[in-house]
Amino acid sequence: MSQRKPIWERKSSFCGGDVVAVHRITRWFKPSTYTSARIRQTTDSEWNHLGILVWDEQERRWYVVEALFSGVIVRPLEVYFDPKRYRLGFFTIPLPQRDRDKILDFALDAVGSKYSFKRILAIRLFQLCFGYKTVGNIRIVDQVPPDSYICSGLVIRSYRAVSQRLGGLFSAPGYVTKKMLEIERWPAPMEVSE
C-alpha cells in the first residue's frame, strides 16, 4: 500500500503564485512569537505573515517566496506544517498562466533583497496617527521598485505586475487578505491541516 504524499509534494495542491497566509501561534514562554501576536493585534487580523507559492520541478515540492527579517528568501513550504506553531490559509485566484508567471518572476527577482524595517516603522506610525483600517488604503506614488520589502509588500508588488491591486504599500497581511476576499472572483481561503 503506497502512502499519500504530503501536500507540499503534490503539484496539484496549489498553483504557482497562490498566496499563503500564516498565523504564528503565540507561546508565553517564546518571546520570539510576540512580534507575530503584535502584528495580528495592531491590524485586527488572524494573519501575521504572507508569502507566494512557487513549485520547483527539480525538487518536486512547493516553496514559499517571502520577506523575513533576514531578507527576501525562498524556503520549503513544509516548514509551516507544524500545528503547534502555525495555522495556514491558502488564497488562490483564477489567473491565466502568463499572469502567474509574471507574479512569480517579480517575486523571484526580489530574492536577496533586504527586509524593510523602515516600512514597518512607517506602518506603525501611520497606524497610530490614522488607525489601522486607514493605513491599508494609503497610496503613495512609488514608481521605482524598492530594494527592500516587508511580507505584504512583496505580495502586493508581485500582484501589481498583473494589475491586481491588493492594497497600498503600507498594507499589513490582514488588510491584504481582507482585500483578496472582497474581490468577487476570489474564493475563500482554503484551510489545510495535516
Q: Determine the average pLDDT of the residues in 100-124.
A: 87
In the chain, what are the helix, strand and coil shares in percent, each to the nearest 5? 40, 20, 40
**Per-residue DSSP letter, 4:** P
153-171: b (≥16 Cβ within 10 Å) or e? bbbbbbbbbbebebbbbbb
What mean pLDDT value characterizes the chain?
Answer: 78
Asked whether the beta carbons of 52 and 66 are under 8 A apart, the reply is: yes
Q: Which residue has the higher pLDDT, 185 or 117?
A: 117
Separation CA 150–CA 66 (nearest Å): 8
For the stretch 113-161, pLDDT in tens is 998 877 777 766 766 676 655 555 555 545 445 788 888 889 988 998 8
Q: Which amino acid is at 133?
A: K
Asked whether the beta carbons of 105 and 99 are under 8 A apart, the reply is: no
Is the pLDDT at 188 greater than 70? The verdict is no
Separation CA 7–CA 10 (nearest Å): 5
For the stretch 45-92, pLDDT in tens is 678 889 999 999 999 999 999 999 899 999 999 999 888 888 888 888
Q: Which residue has the higher pLDDT, 160 or 184?
A: 160
pLDDT band at 170 (very low <50, low <70, confident <90, very high): low
pLDDT of residue 31: 52
**Domain spanning 7-187, CATH architecture:** Alpha-Beta Complex (3.90)
Grid cell digits, residue 137: 488604503
Is the pLDDT at 167 greater than 80? The verdict is no
